[in-house]
Amino acid sequence: MPLFGSTELALRVERAACSLIAAGAEAARNRDGGDRVLLLPVAGGLAVWAGDGSPLNKVAGAGFAGAIADDELDRLETELEDRSSPIRFELANLGDPANGRLLTERGYALVGFENELGLDLGGRDFGATAPGIEITRSTDDDFEVWLEAVVDGFAHPDEQGVPSDESFPREVLKQVMREISCLEGFVRYVARVDGEIAGGGSLRLSEGVAQLAGAATLPQFRRRGVQSSLLTARLADARAEGCDLAVVTTQPGSKSQQNVSRQGFELLYSKAVLVREPG
């Protein structure tokens, strides 16, 4: 059935997002002692800093509990100035609209947008994988192959749609993917074309929400159905595991958004990305 992008649904999705970045930050803390790793509640959401240049560094889920308090912002800005880190807010358009103005007045700049799409997993036929493509769960034996495929894919983003404002050093991305792939509820997938590794994807299961946490196709195998096949396999597994909702974050107008829209995903809400640089 069609999904309605309500505030209640957005809260559920943002809680899952916050739990993912929190778990990733805890993994970073366990890795190196993590005295500087930051997890800080902000206006019903969560601010995370998990290391220089980490894709986990953001404020997610903030603003649903009303306006962000000045003292919360003061503490967050002090903590991240001490780390010489940009501060990245991802503000859902279903949160308090006063927060966009507040952040702008404090020197945050609008740098981009993201779309959050969802799919009701009940009563659907997800179809079959494309001819010649095999999707299997990644095992410990092919973990490094999966990791290299995913990191290589992200290093060559699709040029369709609005470009992302983010890029990450390869080694940082590799470390984060290595750590979050071992979190509870995380499932890895490998795609092969005629027996050759063509890409990989992942899925995180959290309180009935299936987060499509990332998928990438190596450049030489693009436009052959790898992404749609990875999507089909993950959605079928998510429903089998008892999830009723699948969600994915995409760049507006991207190939990823086009792929999931074909499977029936609907736009639930958008997020404005506001960043304040250190200093």
Per residue in 205-229, pLDDT tens?
A: 999 999 998 788 888 888 888 988 9
Lowest mean pLDDT, pick from 84-88, 122-126, 227-231: 122-126
- Would you place residue 158 in the very low, low, confident or very high pLDDT band (cuts 50, 70, 90)? low
Neighbours of 222 (CB within 10 A): 17
Nearest Cα residue to 246 out of 201, 277, 276, 194: 201
Taking 90 as the threshold, does the pLDDT of residue 26 lie above it? yes
Asked if pLDDT for residue 82 goes beyond 90, the answer is yes
| 119 band by pLDDT with thresholds 50, 70 and 90 | very high
CA-based Rg of the chain, rounded to a whole angstrom?
18
Q: Distance between CA 40 and CA 69 in Å, rounded?
A: 13
pLDDT tens for each residue of 228-237 = 899 999 999 9
Q: Range(s) for CATH 3.40.630.30 in the chain?
A: 133-268
- Top-level CATH class of 133-268? alpha beta
Q: Report d(CA 197, CA 193) in Å as an integer.
A: 7
Question: Could you tell me the pTM of the whole model?
Answer: 0.91
Phi/psi zone of residue 207: left (φ > 0), alpha (ψ -120 to 50 degrees), beta? left
Vertex 18 angle, CA 178 and 25, to 5°? 40
